[in-house]
Chain A
Amino acid sequence: MSSNRVSRVQLLLVMLLMVGLQFYVRPRLWDARISPDFLLIALMLFAMRSRPGLAALAGFAVGLIADTLTPARFGAGALAHTLVGYLASWGRAVFFADNMLVNAGFVAAGLWLRDFIVLVASGTDHRQMFTELTVYSPLQALTTAGLALMVLILFRSMFSVRLDA
């Protein structure tokens, strides 16, 4: 088995760990509106290491899961995550994506953009949207980016792989 293949398997394991954390640990944490979004971390880290099409597909899958398990408008999450995944993959070419802080910044920006698209697509009223986008989304973006940074530090060797290579 080649080293690249081993790294891919390890990356998959980390993604599964994120899914487990999202559904088993996150409900036990504090206020759900500011607790880190493990699925988005997995999506962003995956998207920044893969081709845009694959990233969009992963985003669509994550969005579908979000739409199925949360009482928001069906399709809004899929649309938001697809766009975020696709843009994150393209953004890697524009920014210096190998820097861990840039990765964390990507995660924070991706979360805020995801929230913005979901709120717009769900038809949320302006007042609530303003509160969400100015208070809760930045806070959740901070916690999520912090956790993404920790994941990157912990699994640095696994995230050095390029899936599109």
Chain B
Amino acid sequence: MISTSDRRYSRRDTVLFLLCLGLSFFGLFSPVTWGRGVADTLRESVLFPLVWLQTRAEEGRTSRLRFRQVTLERDSTAYLSQFLPSLRAENERLRQLLRLSRRLKTGYLSAEVLHQPQAMDGRTLLLSVGSRQGVVLFSPVIAPEGLIGMVSSVSGNSSVAMSWAHPEFRVSAFTVSGNAFGVVAPSNEGRNGEGALEFRGVPYRDSVPLGTLVLSSGLGGVFPKGIPVGTVIGTVREEAGWERVYRLRPAANPGSAAHVLVLAGTSQTRDLAAAFPSDSLLDAVRLDSIARLRRIDSVAQAVKAARAARRDSLVRTTPAQSRTPPSAGQGGTPSSPMQGGTTSGPPPAPKDSVP
């Protein structure tokens, strides 16, 4: 049997439930503006602490996400910036190669050096062009700086080049002044781990000064004449008073070459020296262009200054014409404040302003 208190509780529960249900339905079916008004009021008053709490949490979450995004962006930028110098270097090298190809009057094939995973691979280079592209055996391989080597074996779409660092490499050469001839071969005494060349067979009487450029002579029928091979940096030895051997700094480094040109269908007797202007000539051209720019700038500045002066003089002469000329008793108008300085009386500034 249900007790009186239980029945009272039950009735109160039912009333509360129905009241809540009624209010809910009222909210549900009341006009939208009423609901919004009630919600706004509650948000601004009773529920304000909860809204504040939720806002802080959202801020924390978005800050964390933003921080993560900024970190990712920073990492990406750092990663990309690592490649920037190498990209610049490659870009510069490709530009040099392009300029060289324009200067060359012979046929050529541009090739990519496929990979050099080991230090000793600088002796032989795997090129991305082969017989199908027109490469033949013993084709000279050059870089913008000078001679790299020659093709030692050819297959369909690739070829192997023997660089000047290879022990079997030889090239007939002469000094740029034309007074000494010899044979250039790789040196066994490379300094600081760098490869070096030797200019051998130079007659004892023909001394070659330091810094002399050595070019291929075209003798031997493999390399055309005029390709830079290296620069004399010292003497290696003298053979019994009849021969001098000079040390050369190689013009081109096969270890760092990524793109090269393979000369194809060229006449070996043709002189390619014009395609390899000396450093001093390049500097002169560069300086000349800078001087030209400076000259243009200076002319523009002079024109600007003249215009400014003319404008200034027009502005100054207009008020000066309305003034009365100075009397003769004052001893003439001084041309500048320094000249017109007097020991007494007010300073004659307005007169000095007239040019």
Contact = CB atoms under 8 A, between A and B. Distances in A.
Interface residues of A, number: 33
B47 A65 contact: yes
A64 to B, nearest CB: 7
A23 B58 CA distance: 9
Interface in A18-67: 19-20, 23-28, 51-54, 56-57, 59-60, 63-65, 67
B309 interface: no
Q: Would you call the interface of chain B mostly helix, strand, loop, or mixed?
A: helix
A59 B56 CA distance: 26
Given A67-B27, A75-B28, A121-B28, A27 B17 contact: no
B37 to A, nearest CB: 10
B15 interface: yes
B43 A76 contact: no
A74 B35 contact: yes
B316 interface: no
Contacts of B61: 27-28
B17 A28 contact: no
B24 A53 contact: no
A52 B50 contact: no
A82 interface: yes
Nearest to B11: A53
A60 B19 CA distance: 10
A156 interface: no
B29 to A, nearest CB: 7
Contacts of B25: 75, 79
B53 A76 contact: no
Contacts of A121: 28
A60 B24 contact: yes
B290 interface: no
B47 A68 contact: yes
Given A27-B57, A69-B54, A57 B43 contact: no
A69 B27 contact: no
A137 B337 CA distance: 93
A56 B20 contact: yes
A33 to B, nearest CB: 15
Contacts of A63: 24
Contacts of B29: 75
A86 interface: yes
B47 A75 contact: no
A60 B50 contact: no
Nearest to B47: A68
B39 interface: yes
Contacts of A52: 13-14, 16-17
A93 to B, nearest CB: 12
A75 B16 contact: no
A19 B57 CA distance: 13
A25 B57 contact: yes
Given A24-B57, A69-B51, A74-B36, A53 B28 contact: no
A73 interface: yes
B43 A74 contact: no
A70 to B, nearest CB: 10
Given A23-B53, A23-B57, A75 B17 contact: no
B32 A74 contact: yes
A78 B58 contact: no
Contacts of A20: 53
Contacts of A54: 13, 16
B20 A59 contact: yes
A25 B60 CA distance: 10
A6 to B, nearest CB: 24
B24 A79 contact: yes
Contacts of A67: 27, 35, 39
Given A19-B50, A75-B26, 6 more contacts: A24-B54, A25-B57, A52-B13, A57-B16, A60-B20, A164-B9
Nearest 10 Cβ contacts at the A-B interface: A74-B35, A75-B27, A75-B28, A53-B13, A53-B16, A79-B24, A60-B20, A27-B57, A78-B24, A56-B17
5 contacts: A53-B16, A68-B42, A68-B47, A69-B43, A164-B9
